[in-house]
A and B are shown apart, each in its own frame.
Chain A
Amino acid sequence: MIDREEFRQIRDNGVWHQNASLIQLLGLCPLLAVTTTLVNGVMLSLATIIVMAVANVAVATLRNLIPHEIRIPVFILVVAALVTVVDLVFNAFFHQLYLVLGIFIPLIVTNCIVLARVEAFANKNSPLQSLLDGIFMGVGLLWTLALLGGLRELIGGGTLFSGIEMVFPGMQGLQLLPADYPGFLLAVLPPGAFILLGFLIAWKNWVEARAAARKPDSGSEQGSPLPLADGV
């Protein structure tokens, strides 16, 4: 079905090499609006992972039945049905969080990452590979949004995991910095998210440039330090 090498490739692409937020820069709208805290970022990523994994499997299974000319509306229908399910689940089990995330759960339908993976990957690959692709692309999204959310929360208010009681009742957020920390409001506002995302991208490029410099022979075959997504 799938060999070790192929699995490794799908995993590395999703988590690092073609990271949805840092390389493809897809789905910036939820990235900017929702990552004000770590909990928000993680929960929205989890919702997106579920949608992406199931949508990828569904589309990969149906890919030979979907007429090429109207594939986009069909994809959107599949994704929208899944998002409706996730939306209702959030409303039922994490109602407070549902109120906080608000419009951004229904907006997963229009998230370009979901459509991009369905169109670029699931439409051309088998269900198992598509499942893995959906999950690992989502994991890539998850760690980026968690890191960004954590940084914004910490810089903006000096807290971490605030709002975790909405997911696990009884747990408390941490106040890491002293209570009289004035709060760097810019980090919580959308411009701060853009600036921090820029720093994250710079950090990723720096890591890759260093890795390429360490082994010059294998670095040359990769070519550009910014590998572009195939077919996206």
Chain B
Amino acid sequence: MMVFSTPPYLLQERSSVRRVMLQVLLALLPGIAAYVWLIGPGIVVQLVIATLTALAGEAFMLALRRKRLALFLSDGSAIVTAWLIALSFPPLAPWWLIVVGTLLAIVVAKHLYGGLGQNPFNPAMVAFAACIVSFPALMSQWPALGLKLDFLEQLQIIAGLAPRIDVMSGATPLDALKTALKLSDGSIDVPTLLATQEVFGNFAGRGWEWVASGYLLGGLWLWQRKLISWHAPFGFILGLSLLAAALWAWNPQQFANPVFHLFSGGALLGAFFIVTDPVSGCTTPRGKLIFGLLAGLLAYIIRVFGGFPDGVAFAVLLMNLCVPLIDMYSQPPIFGLKNEP
């Protein structure tokens, strides 16, 4: 009698959208922990608001589209989008800003394009781009460093009960650098700025560098678990740091070093959690590398030469547009055929 068993090459870890999304959420935890240490528990409130809004929006759209509610609600993809939105928005933004952003992401960017697996644009980045275009003032109010508010005070600011005080109007390290360079008109150089200003820390923005390191840690864990391949993050980091290094080598007085750029703004969050999005990103390995590389280059160009505080969101959205083209030209040859264009 013959016994059939599963051949070894078919043995693999059971993987489902829910498992993957759960591990992505786990990978965000180190970054969130550093965030809480830096800013306070307000960010947790934002995460909760975003999660509840995302689930409500998802349930509404699923009911409207007559899909299976329990299956899609529990897959966790909406929660990942919600967390990415909460982490990329200013931590003390008013509650309705997070709600509007999350609803835009879930309803417009995700479900109106066909739901999970169909959206051409990264929903979280659509939310960020739409909100920074619509509410530029609120979206650039980052809490000033050393602003120590307890949980209740943060809650009041988020709920809109307390006035949005002046001490709120801190700038991100990227913004601070850009503004200082623009104001000084060539009379001050980057190394002096980095060494003297309060907002800069050991190798990037004070405090923010550790949040970015947390994302890096989580991202490396995702890579080690083989949930993301190295191509897209590597391409993104390479693109960003190549351009940063070239300009830095050419004129270190006017351009910050690549490490500063990597650990500032949304660069590492983008590299490991956003350009790796399996839906809106490329699918072929070479395609992922090209996608990441160009997104990194664009992110640098937009954040250094553009008017917005950071360029990751716009870079990713622009590259999302190019995905079908890149995928078409980066398909590996079929076995047995010569690789001719």
Contacts and interface: CB of A to CB of B under 8 A. Distances in A.
Contacts of B135: 182, 184-185
Nearest to A198: B112
Contacts of B17: none
A186 B130 contact: yes
B306 to A, nearest CB: 17
B245 interface: no
A69 to B, nearest CB: 41
Nearest to A187: B134
A184 B108 contact: no
Interface string A136-156: 000000000000000000000
Interface string A183-210: 1111101000001001000000000000
B108 A185 contact: no
A186 B134 contact: yes
B38 interface: no
Contacts of B136: 185
B20 interface: no
Contacts, number: 17
B108 A182 contact: no
Contacts of B112: 198
B217 interface: no
B133 interface: yes
Nearest to A188: B134
B133 A185 contact: yes
Contacts of B134: 183-187
B133 A182 contact: no
Nearest to B135: A182
Contacts of A182: 135, 138
A186 B133 contact: yes
Interface string B7-37: 0000000000000000000000000000000
A178 to B, nearest CB: 12
Contacts of B130: 186
A184 B133 CA distance: 9
A212 B108 CA distance: 26
A120 B134 CA distance: 41
Contacts of A195: 108
B160 to A, nearest CB: 10
Contacts of A189: 133
Contacts of A186: 130, 133-134
Given A185-B133, A195-B108, 11 more contacts: A182-B135, A182-B138, A183-B134, A184-B100, A184-B135, A185-B134, A186-B130, A186-B133, A186-B134, A189-B133, A198-B112
A229 to B, nearest CB: 26
A179 to B, nearest CB: 15
A3 B134 CA distance: 51
B137 to A, nearest CB: 8
